[in-house]
């Protein structure tokens, strides 16, 4: 059967932890509405206890969104949970996201808590949160560096206390797809109600594997992916949700999974985040970068002109991007130059290109991109 994968967007919370990024409340509402239009299932609107501004932003998003579920983040502390209750009280659909660190280095160096104390905190706080929310998501922070037996114990405790969503965070981007598969195998073996719980993953990109790890989790039992638009976030950022969505679309034969994402809204969503975050999208960024559907190599351009599927596994129209471009540079071939000249209105054929192309190469060797003005000048010289 085809798996249904939920998308949990944390651009407004983890994404805003990007150094230098500070969305206004108005921007957060606009982003949330666009995320809803894009088709995400859950929007993590912020960390209500963190500041008055964050509380107000979560409340504003909760009021503005009508279809997508809205959540706030809470540490395993009653004050944090109370703040989430108040901030999301006007949401049509809501949940809470409670977390506590479980790895040895976090328990010992950050929390100064024993295993037993962590377990007791999970039990009491998830139980408390469940009084106010039908959907309680629990995250064992730094799960991928947590002892496998203790990870199972922590998760089972949360489920027994009322958690219906378990998120597995790769908090520092430490793991890899093979290890993620092993982690999930351990959970499937030892969590008796594994198939009754929504398992989610939240992958960071410190080693460049956030998207790969997220996709590996789909193969191994996760039915929710958490991340951000453009992959923004703490340190090296999060899994780029647009890349996960595109991979699921292109390789549906492999992942056998679908989602509620409206891919045609992808580029618009990416551009909005880039604009509000004041973070230009790298030209070579997958799916939404300026060069994602641009081809300069002569071999590639020739293939594209004959059949676009030779070098494009995803069309720009699918993700709402502009049409494919064939910029002319020093690596371009005569076929692409000839087609460009024909589109400009010049009657040229392959014989004419024997005289035109050397002049093109001479200019291309001295510049980055050969412009239409350059081509006009070439044609003047050829016809002189």
Domain regions of the chain by residue span: 3-277, 293-384
Q: Is the pLDDT at 336 greater than 70, yes or no?
A: yes
- Res. 352 pLDDT band, cuts 50 70 90: very high
Please state which of the ranges 30-44, 156-170, 329-343 shows the lowest mean pLDDT.
329-343
Q: What does the block give as tokens for 379? A: 């044609």
pLDDT tens per residue, range 44-63:
999 999 999 999 999 999 99
CA distance 192 to 121: 22
pLDDT in tens, 52-93: 999 999 999 999 999 999 999 999 999 999 999 999 999 999
Could you give the CA distance from residue 21 to residue 235 in angstroms, rounded to a whole number? 12
Chain centroid to CA 107: 29
Please state, in angstroms and rounded to a whole number, the distance separating the CA atoms of residues 157 and 128: 13
Of 131-145, 200-214, 227-241, 295-309, least confident by mean pLDDT is: 295-309
What is the Cα 17 distance to its own chain's centre? Answer: 15
pLDDT for the residue 384:
66
- Beta carbons within 8 Å of 67's beta carbon, 6+ residues apart: 36, 92, 93
Given a cut of 90, whether residue 126 has pLDDT beyond it is yes
How far lies 225's CA from each of 41, 120, 246, 263, 369, in Å? 10, 28, 13, 16, 39
pLDDT at 322: 87
Q: Percent of the chain at pLDDT above 70? A: 100
Q: Token pair for residue 29?
A: 């509402």
The tokens for 104 are 């040895």
Model confidence at 94, pLDDT cuts 50, 70, 90, reads: very high
Q: For residues 55 and 83, is the Cβ–Cβ distance under 8 A?
A: yes
CATH topology of domain 3-277: TIM Barrel (3.20.20)
Tens digit of pLDDT for each residue in 3-33?
Answer: 999 999 999 999 999 999 999 999 999 999 9
**Cα 242 from chain centroid?**
5
The percent of residues above 90 in pLDDT, for the chain, comes to: 95
Q: pLDDT at position 323, please? A: 87
Task: Report the C-alpha gap between 315 and 254 in whole angstroms.
Answer: 19
Residue 275 pLDDT > 70: yes
Q: What does the pLDDT look like over 161-195, one tens digit per residue?
A: 999 999 999 999 999 999 999 999 999 999 989 99
């Amino acid at each position: 059967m085809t798996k249904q994968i939920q998308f949990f967007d944390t651009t407004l919370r983890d994404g805003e932890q990007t150094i230098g990024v500070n969305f206004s409340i108005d921007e957060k509402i606009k982003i949330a509405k666009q995320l809803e239009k894009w088709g995400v299932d859950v929007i993590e609107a912020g960390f209500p206890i963190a500041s008055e501004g964050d509380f107000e932003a979560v409340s504003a998003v909760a009021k503005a969104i009508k279809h997508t579920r809205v959540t706030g983040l809470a540490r395993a502390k009653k004050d944090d949970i109370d703040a989430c209750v108040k901030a999301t009280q006007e949401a049509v659909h809501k949940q809470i996201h409670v977390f506590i660190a479980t790895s040895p280095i976090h328990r010992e160096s950050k929390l100064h808590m024993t295993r037993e104390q962590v377990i007791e905190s999970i039990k009491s706080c998830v139980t408390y949160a469940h009084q106010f929310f039908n959907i309680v998501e629990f995250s064992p922070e730094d799960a991928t560096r947590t002892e496998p037996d203790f990870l199972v114990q922590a998760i089972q405790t949360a489920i027994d206390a009322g958690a219906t969503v378990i998120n597995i965070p790769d908090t520092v981007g430490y793991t890899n797809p093979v290890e993620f598969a092993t982690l999930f195998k351990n959970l499937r073996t030892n969590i008796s109600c594994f198939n009754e719980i929504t398992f989610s993953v939240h992958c960071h990109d410190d080693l460049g594997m956030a998207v790969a790890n997220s996709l590996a989790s789909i193969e191994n039992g996760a039915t929710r992916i958490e991340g951000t638009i453009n992959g923004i976030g703490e340190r090296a950022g999060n899994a780029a949700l647009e890349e996960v969505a595109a991979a699921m679309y292109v390789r549906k034969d492999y992942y056998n999974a679908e989602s509620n994402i409206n891919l045609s809204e992808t580029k618009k969503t990416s551009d909005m985040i880039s604009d509000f975050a004041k973070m230009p999208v790298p030209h070579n960024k997958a799916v939404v970068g300026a060069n994602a559907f641009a081809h300069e190599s002569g071999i590639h351009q020739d293939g594209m002109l004959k059949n676009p599927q030779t070098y494009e596994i995803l069309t720009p129209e699918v993700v709402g991007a502009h049409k494919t471009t064939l910029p002319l540079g020093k690596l371009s071939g005569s076929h692409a130059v000839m087609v460009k000249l024909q589109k400009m209105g010049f009657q040229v054929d392959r014989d004419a290109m024997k005289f035109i192309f050397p002049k093109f190469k001479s200019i291309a060797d001295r510049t980055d991109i050969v412009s239409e003005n350059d081509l006009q000048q070439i044609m003047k010289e050829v016809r002189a």
